[in-house]
Amino acid sequence: MIIETRFRSQYGVEIATELPSSGHGVQYFPELDPQRGRLYEAALKFTYMDQASWWGVFAARSKLGAGLDLVSSMPDPEICCVTTWGTGYLVNVRDPNLWQVIDTYPVLGANAIVDLQLIVINDFTNLAAYGADGLRWRVTAQCSDELKVRDASSERITYTGWDAASDQQVTRYIDPHTGNHVPR
C-alpha cells in the first residue's frame, strides 16, 4: 500500500502492523456483519490532533483483477482516501462514523491537482473529481476501456483509452474545472 500526502492534512496515518487485542478503537469499513463474509484487506492507524488514535480496517469488493492500493490525503484536511484492491473509501479522520464508499470501481488511478485542490479518480471508463467540498464532477470518458490519465494539471486532464468503435487507442482532454471534454 502506498501513502501519499499531496494535500495538507490534520491527521496522521500509517500502515498498522497489528490491531489492539482488546478491539477498542477499531472500526471496520463497512462494519462487521456475521451474515456476510468480507475481504478485509487493509489495516491503518489514524491519529487526529489530540484525540485518541483509532484503527480502520477496510474491505475490498474482490481480489480479482486490477485495483489501486493507496492511502491519500484529500483537499479537505480531515478526509482520507483509502483504496484497497480498487475499492475506495472517503473517511473523515476526526469522526470516522462519517464515511462513504467511492462510486468509481475499481479505482485504478488517483491524480492530485494541488493548484486546484482537486483529486481525480478513475476506473476503466469514468473519471470523478473531488475537492474540499466533496464530489465536484463525474464524467464518462470518450473511450470504451483501458482509461489511463496521462497528465493532470490546472489547465487540462489528458487521458488515453481504447475506442472499440474505431478499434484504436485515443487521446482525449478534460477541463479540470468543469469535467467537460475539450478539444486539444
**How many structural domains does the chain have?**
1
Q: Does 136 map to a domain?
A: no
Region for 75 from its dihedrals, namely left if φ exceeds 0, alpha if ψ lies in -120 to 50, beta otherwise = alpha
* Per-residue confidence (pLDDT) for residue 78, from 0 to 100: 98
pLDDT, averaged in runs of 10, over the chain (184 residues): 96 96 95 78 95 96 87 98 96 97 96 98 97 97 95 97 96 97 92
The verdict on pTM exceeding 0.85 is yes
* Per-residue confidence (pLDDT) for residue 102, from 0 to 100: 97
Q: Does 65 map to a domain?
A: yes
Which residue range forms the structural domain that includes residue 25?
2-107
Q: Does 158 map to a domain?
A: no
- Measured between alpha carbons, how far is 92 from 59 in angstroms, rounded to an integer? 17
One-letter amino acid for residue 138 of the chain: R
Q: Does 34 map to a domain?
A: yes
Q: Does 49 map to a domain?
A: yes
- In sequence order, the 6+-apart residues with CB closer than 8 A to the CB of 100 are 89, 90
* Per-residue confidence (pLDDT) for residue 36, from 0 to 100: 75
Half-sphere exposure of 150 (CA within 13 A, CB side): 10
